[in-house]
Amino acid sequence: MPRPRRRLASTCIGTVTAGLLATGAALAAPADQGGGSDIAMGAYLDYGPPGVARIPYLSRWLGGKEIRVGHTYLPGDQWAGIEGNVDFLEDWAEWRQERDDRMFVLNVPMQERNEARVPDYQVAQLIRAGAEGQYDRHFKKLAERLVALGVPDTVIVLGWEMNGDTYTHRCGPDPENWKAYWKRVVNTMRSVPGQKFKFDFTPNRGTDAIGWTKCYPGDDVVDVVGMDSYDQGPGRTFDDQISQPYGLQQHVDFAKAHGKEISYPEWGLFRNGDNPEYVRRMLQWIEKQKPLYHTITDYCPHGVWQCKQNPASAKAFRDALTPQKPGPVIPTPVVPTPPVVPTPVIPTPVIPTPPIPTPEIPTPVVPVVPPIPPIPPIPIPEVPSPEVPVAPIPEVPVAPSPAVPVAPTPEVPVAPTPEVPVAPSPEVPVAPTPEVPVAPTPEVPVAPTPEVPVAPSPEVPVAPSPGVSPVSPVVPKPTPEPTPPPQPTPPITPPVNSKEWCIPLNFGEWLSKLVGKQAVCVKVDWGQDSGFWPF
């Protein structure tokens, strides 16, 4: 929108400055404790050193409100100014570097002769030249200048109000090439080492010459979506300014849809004179939307501090932004605390617990059965296998009745010899007779049971074993018989061209009476047909 002599309006500035110095209002001491909104706030006070010098006075006028945003413009008459070849940038860089939470906002034109009322057909030619990269070098110099001054994080409002018809860098004559030109400028400045710039896309509120969404260059080259909004049409009331096409609400919704922060680089009074209601509503809207920053244009007719023709709006602005002073501190009365009465400690008697004896349960004694000593190994010459086969014993016949075990009468128990436990070796089973094969059980030793008498069957005669006298059932008490001397075993003559070894087995005196003398014979045939006979 047209704002005549924006940076040259010195008439109001001199008058306001003299008035402030005379009344002392600008030099009032700041409040000790601040308050109000924490949104970064500033004002355009002048493009050069006077703008920097006026910031602390504005802060004091607002009761100590911190001015965190410094806002100025590069001249758009020649490319040298757009390249940043101006000395006032140094003053703004020094102010920015004094505190880390400050922000430097710089409006950058996209064309020289920016306010020369260039016709649309020439604007279209300039836009196409920019899209082709003919102006890249100017913006690279600007980026290098800002990095060198120590303000690489400058917020750059590039080609502001492009949807209007005032500036040569407007978008309407060729929107597509304008967007391509914006992309080239942003990418060129981002290519400079050390830069941290934020690029602010800021149209005018309302449709103006073209809907500003048609000029949006893309999310990849835009960091902030701003809006310049003054108290003028379109929109008769502030509510109209919110709801109109391309108005305040659409601006907020558009930025949110694209994941961007919002800003208000320029706002203030214009067509409707001193309008405190507009100032209050605009500040309430800003507080609700939480933009990245906002700066009021503070010179006549837009301002409220340097322009004395808007006193009611100035009061509304000051009341809204001045930090709230804390009220008087009312001391809390101290109520004396009554003395603490100690509670007497009553000892608790300790009642001894009588011990309960634990009954001892005797562990039953399990009689230990002495292990059966193994039969001592008998060395057998030249026999590799420890397994010894049992030869049949033809001399000891067994009675043919398998159902009747052989046992002594109850009156005559035969006590076993303590030295020799009555148990057959598992390795030497008793061979049965040819008529009735009886397999002995190695686990059950043949022993008399004195407690269970078994009457002998008269029909089944018991064959006497060699060397053992038969027991007479009519004798009440047994008479021990002398053990006959052992008979020598006749030698066994091995066959020709063979070897056979026989070893007598000793089962003890009592068992030998039952089974007789036994021997184990091993025969190895080395005859001529065996394959081992060497002769």
* Higher local confidence (pLDDT), 449 or 245: 245
Give 320-338 pLDDT, tens digit per residue: 999 987 656 666 666 666 6
Classify residue 401 by burial, with Cβ atoms within 10 Å: 0-12, 13-18, 19+.
middle
Contact 44, 51 (CB under 8 A): yes
| pLDDT above 50 (res 113) | yes
Dihedral (CA of 17, 21, 27, 28) sign: negative
Contact 429, 440 (CB under 8 A): yes
Cα 259 to Cα 197, 218, 262, distances in angstroms: 18, 12, 10
User: For residues 114 and 164, what is the distance between their CA atoms, to the nearest angstrom?
Assistant: 13
User: For residues 475 and 409, what is the distance between their CA atoms, to the nearest angstrom?
Assistant: 10
Give 257-310 pLDDT, tens digit per residue: 999 999 999 999 999 999 999 999 999 999 999 999 999 999 999 999 999 999
| pLDDT above 90 (res 385) | no
pLDDT of residue 348: 65
The amino acid that residue 365 corresponds to is V
Find the mean pLDDT for residues 394-402. Answer: 42
Q: Cα angle at 324 between 318 and 327, to 5 degrees?
A: 140
Give 525's strand partners.
498
pLDDT of residue 278: 98
Give 11-49 pLDDT, tens digit per residue: 344 443 444 443 333 333 333 333 446 899 999 999 999
Confidence of residue 86 (pLDDT cuts 50, 70, 90): very high
Confidence of residue 178 (pLDDT cuts 50, 70, 90): very high
SS3 content of the chain, % helix, strand, coil (to 5): 25, 10, 65
| pLDDT above 80 (res 71) | yes
| pLDDT above 60 (res 448) | no
pLDDT of residue 328: 65
Confidence of residue 235 (pLDDT cuts 50, 70, 90): confident
Domain architecture of the chain: domains with CATH:
11-321 (3.20.20.80), 488-535 (no CATH)
What rounded mean pLDDT belongs to the chain?
75
* Higher local confidence (pLDDT), 1 or 227: 227
pLDDT of residue 353: 66
| pLDDT above 50 (res 408) | no
pLDDT of residue 11: 38
pLDDT of residue 365: 60
Find the mean pLDDT for residues 362-384. Answer: 56
pLDDT of residue 38: 84
pLDDT of residue 486: 54
pLDDT of residue 450: 43
Of 185, 160, 44, the closest CA to residue 109 belongs to 160
Residues with Cβ within 8 Å of residue 109, at least 6 apart in sequence: 74, 75, 76, 82, 159, 167, 168, 169
The amino acid that residue 162 corresponds to is M
Find tokens 């030698």 and name the residue. 491
User: For residues 188 and 192, what is the distance between their CA atoms, to the nearest angstrom?
Assistant: 7
- Please state at what angle helix 11-23 crosses helix 49-61, rounded to 10 degrees: 40
pLDDT of residue 333: 64
Give 42-59 pLDDT, tens digit per residue: 999 999 999 999 999 999
User: For residues 51 and 6, what is the distance between their CA atoms, to the nearest angstrom?
Assistant: 13
pLDDT of residue 416: 43
pLDDT of residue 17: 43
- The pair of three-digit structure tokens given for residue 531, joined into one six-digit string: 């394959």
Contact 105, 69 (CB under 8 A): yes
